[in-house]
Amino acid sequence: MDATPLASTAIRSRDTRRINLALQGGGTHGAFTWGVLERLLDEDWLEFDGMSGTSAGAINAAIFALGLSEGGRAGAREGLNRFWRDLGSKFAVSPLQTSPLEKALWGWDMTYSMAWKAFDTLTRVASPYQFNPFPIEFNPLRRALETSLDLARLRSDPNAIRLFISATNVRSGKPKVFTRQEITVDALLASACLPNIFRAVEIDGEAYWDGGYLGNPALWPLYHERMAADIILVQLNPIYRPELPTSVSDIMNRLNEISFNASLMSEIRAIDFVQRLLESGRLEQPRYRRIFLHLIEDEERMRAFKLSTKFNGDWDFLQTMRKYGNEAAETFLTQSAHQLGRDSTLDTARFL
């Protein structure tokens, strides 16, 4: 499916706005962000200043930044399309996929499939150091990144957009933010390293796990005084679930959502506090400056997907995620784009 721009002429005629993008992680749900980014690329009046990403958000951010560096908006669009197609083809031959019958019975949810049950059980009783003793694990993500990204070019391009990739230092328990000049395939894999599935990624003698534990994504690198004041957060993990999880899978899914949203909620609280102090005149600019927060999400749809779907690389599923992201970005552009550079449109009450 090719994304089709739906914005009105009124939106397209807006004054140029510089924005930062903050991209959450969420496994193959990151294809939602693919759809969001495609839709934003259609708007020539939007200029991209910086990006912060974690896990799947980190990978989307790196592909986006490299694509802009190599071929402008068309290059970014093509890079995203090429990566997700390549990843889908890798998953098509991986052991973690459902049979046609299981797909017919349960759709995108792999919770009851034989492949998922075996995978889930294995990751609960053995560490990746026990059930995967090889120095280089089978990882379709690594293969897709190595064939899709010329990160040396991105590191050396002085005109590339600012890029910040979050990981978690295993030994210190502190966040690590890799800048554009430090981006490697290992840095991206570190940002997406779930410790119950993959061995910690070693970089310069330090071991790293998924960045979502301490920054999903990290917003603070985007506060720099020379960067754009608008930060658009692309959210994958639902903040609120009305139902009480009772199954083991649903409990684990909710624990993951809460854990991976915790640091983001803390940052939004801090930003909200500082902004209210600025508005009341209790803090002075330019030492402190206005930050405008915005949100692109579709919680209603994303709540319907179980934990197993974050590992679903079925091409039809990836295309569905892409479509949902495209539509969520369209909703934002229609309802909130006029507030860019003027005020926040993110409802901070949801995060307080």
Q: Residue 8 pLDDT more than 60?
A: no
Identify whether the C-beta of residue 231 lies closer than 8 Å to the C-beta of residue 291: yes
Q: pLDDT tens, 317-347?
A: 999 999 999 999 999 999 999 999 999 999 9
Residue bearing tokens 């199954």: 247
d(CA 60, CA 175): 20
- Provide the sign of the torsion angle of the four alpha carbons 241, 246, 251, 253, taken in this order: negative
pLDDT given at position 289: 84
The answer to whether residues 211 and 231 touch, using CB atoms and an 8 Å cutoff, is: no
Each residue of 237-247: pLDDT tens digit? 999 999 999 99
What's the mean pLDDT when you consider all of the chain? 89
Residues 17-42 pLDDT 10s: 999 999 999 999 999 999 999 999 99
Q: Supply the pTM of this predicted model.
A: 0.91
Is residue 128 a contact partner of residue 74, using CB atoms and an 8 Å limit? no
Does the structure show a pLDDT above 80 at 99?
no
Residue holding tokens 């400056």?
289
Higher pLDDT, 7 or 139: 139
- pLDDT for 28 equals 95
Least confident of 67-81, 177-191, 213-227: 213-227
User: Is residue 284 scored above 80 in pLDDT?
Assistant: no
